[in-house]
Chain A
């Protein structure tokens, strides 16, 4: 497993009718890298995530995950290759408890998901993994609360916990700090810093401070195209980026 890239996009495009939401994007992320994907509203960041995760089919181009071509592959099969994602708009199982949310995440891709004749609470290893994921985001004590009774900030943390419970190799984080207060965003940043360094991170973040704190490399998307790609210092200094993104 000495693949040079955890994730590689080659000339990936996506059109919705006449609109080219993603236009010939080239992206190469090395294993263990922390990459930020930034860009103004409507730049095509979330669409790009949906293409990588397989929630949407590409119109053109090639996507490679740890060396394997996954371009036409179904979403659950990409997940089986170690890809996990979070959602910009919180997407959890609201009427289930926090523990059951985490259980569902830990259960995915294990043979036990088709077990029908034993109560789920008898699966001790499943529960252990679920609780471990909750502990990783600091919500172990909320296990028995229904997710819809959690605060927005807690729900954002559950988003991450669910992605972690699957023990991913590549984690796509879609604006993890969306809608958080400043204090909450700081906790989120700390949480992202604590993640296992072996996990490759691709993170969309609107908040430049967070993006630059977490990521060492930055890719800038604008109208579906990559307009800059490099270390955070290089991108920060890039005049086009300053003009477009910071509106200077």
Chain B
């Protein structure tokens, strides 16, 4: 009660409001993006491909972090929303020859709709139970992708998804313009999600993460906030899925399988839950690690596991969290 009870030296010298300090990741984030954009033309095709992949997966990881890092809900079925959007693009652009805007809207809407339905079932649970339900719902989507052959072509997947044709001076069929295209999408998602987590609504999500009972006592309809977060998160996962379909030119059950969800969860944990730049960083790290290590060994998951254990032991708040100037108790 008196200040004497806590020596003021205990206070971090640079203590700033968690939300009032957005500059911590915005400026390095913009510098990184600009740096990558400048270097991209100098890269050969393979690293450029990986960079494109990382940019897309970064959107997925950031979307998951809205649930995991900000709201405290560990979803293990995020591939579902990513996947349904990818399938929507795959089917619409091949069977129906629809253009980019239609595919984008359809993919994002379908992901939002899927999340809206799944959220009704999942939000009642929390902790491990939430994990299990989202996992089960994710498997439902995987089952559909695998078995609904007339729609999804089953295990064969949908091949030949054309790159979008937009009224741009460059063809998105070429790797470099397509990379810039995805980078723009990633920056857009980052900006929107950044706004979301710093908004009053974002603050309520963090409140729920910290204490649901207190939020209820304050008069919040906690379920509704969680549900909205769930749907928004699924929507952004769908946004990532749209670009993934165009990037790969191919959509298959692999995109919606459990491993994809688990990898996304690892990206967030690795990079630092509760930040947006962290998961993006984690996404890039895992994409590169996966592709480089798998050249040398098929047991790349072993390496990933080791990296993950290392992070848990030495930087439990993720790589980015470890660099944040906040003293441990």
Taking each of A93, A126, A152, which has the highest tally of chain B beta carbons within 10 Å of its own beta carbon? A93
| Neighbouring A residues of B22 by C-beta, 8 Å | 119
| Neighbouring A residues of B225 by C-beta, 8 Å | 113
In chain B, residues 192-231, which have Cβ atoms closer than 8 Å to a Cβ of chain A? 195-196, 198-204, 206-207, 210-211, 213-222, 225, 228
- From the candidates A97, A113, A157, name the one contacting B200 in the complex (CB within 8 A): A113
CB distance A153 to B1 under 8 Å?
yes
CB distance B19 to A151 under 8 Å?
no
CA distance A114 to B205 in the complex (A): 11
| Neighbouring A residues of B207 by C-beta, 8 Å | 93, 96, 104
CA distance A149 to B14 in the complex (A): 13
CB distance A113 to B1 under 8 Å?
no
| Neighbouring A residues of B201 by C-beta, 8 Å | 113-116
For chain B, the bracket of interface size reads 35 or more
A111: min CB distance to chain B, Å: 10
A120 at the B interface (CB under 8 A): yes
**Contacts known (A145-B15, A184-B1); A116 close to B199, Cβ less than 8 A:** yes
Nearest CB to that of A103 among chain B residues? B203
CA distance A145 to B7 in the complex (A): 13
B24: min CB distance to chain A, Å: 14
- From the candidates B12, B17, B199, B211, name the one contacting A93 in the complex (CB within 8 A): B211
| Neighbouring A residues of B19 by C-beta, 8 Å | 97, 100, 119-121
CB distance B1 to A116 under 8 Å?
no
Count A-side interface residues using an 8 Å CB cutoff: 58
CA distance A156 to B1 in the complex (A): 8
Nearest CB to that of A98 among chain B residues? B17
CA distance A160 to B137 in the complex (A): 42
| Neighbouring B residues of A99 by C-beta, 8 Å | 17, 20
| Neighbouring B residues of A53 by C-beta, 8 Å | 217
**Contacts known (A55-B216, A79-B219, A154-B5); A144 close to B17, Cβ less than 8 A:** yes
B98: min CB distance to chain A, Å: 29
CB distance B218 to A115 under 8 Å?
no
| Neighbouring A residues of B219 by C-beta, 8 Å | 75-76, 79-80, 108-109, 166
| Neighbouring A residues of B18 by C-beta, 8 Å | 95-97, 100, 146
A230 at the B interface (CB under 8 A): no
A207: min CB distance to chain B, Å: 14
CB distance A119 to B199 under 8 Å?
yes
B2 at the A interface (CB under 8 A): yes
CA distance A121 to B201 in the complex (A): 12
B85: min CB distance to chain A, Å: 21
A43 at the B interface (CB under 8 A): no
0 or 1 for each of A74-95: is its CB under 8 Å from B? (1 = yes): 1110011000110100011111
- From the candidates B11, B203, B221, name the one contacting A149 in the complex (CB within 8 A): B11
CB distance A100 to B203 under 8 Å?
yes
B44 at the A interface (CB under 8 A): no
| Neighbouring A residues of B221 by C-beta, 8 Å | 74, 76
CB distance A94 to B204 under 8 Å?
no
A154: min CB distance to chain B, Å: 6
CA distance A75 to B222 in the complex (A): 10
CA distance A184 to B1 in the complex (A): 6
B16 at the A interface (CB under 8 A): yes
- From the candidates A92, A100, A103, A108, name the one contacting B211 in the complex (CB within 8 A): A92
CB distance B202 to A116 under 8 Å?
yes
B66: min CB distance to chain A, Å: 11
B90: min CB distance to chain A, Å: 30
| A-B pairs with lowest CB-CB distance, top 5 | A79-B219, A153-B1, A184-B1, A93-B210, A151-B5
- Of the A-B pairs whose beta carbons lie under 8 Å apart in the complex, a sample of 16, sorted by A's number, is A74-B221, A76-B216, A79-B218, A84-B217, A87-B214, A96-B207, A104-B203, A118-B195, A119-B19, A119-B22, A119-B198, A120-B200, A145-B15, A148-B329, A149-B12, A153-B5
Chain A residues close to B by CB (< 8 Å): 53, 55, 74-76, 79-80, 84-85, 87, 91-97, 99-100, 103-105, 107-109, 112-121, 123, 126, 143-146, 148-154, 156-157, 162, 166, 180-181, 183-184, 187-188
User: Given A75-B216, A144-B15, list of 16 further CB < 8 A pairs?
Assistant: A79-B216, A96-B18, A96-B210, A97-B17, A100-B17, A100-B19, A104-B203, A115-B200, A118-B199, A119-B198, A120-B19, A120-B203, A144-B16, A146-B326, A149-B11, A184-B5
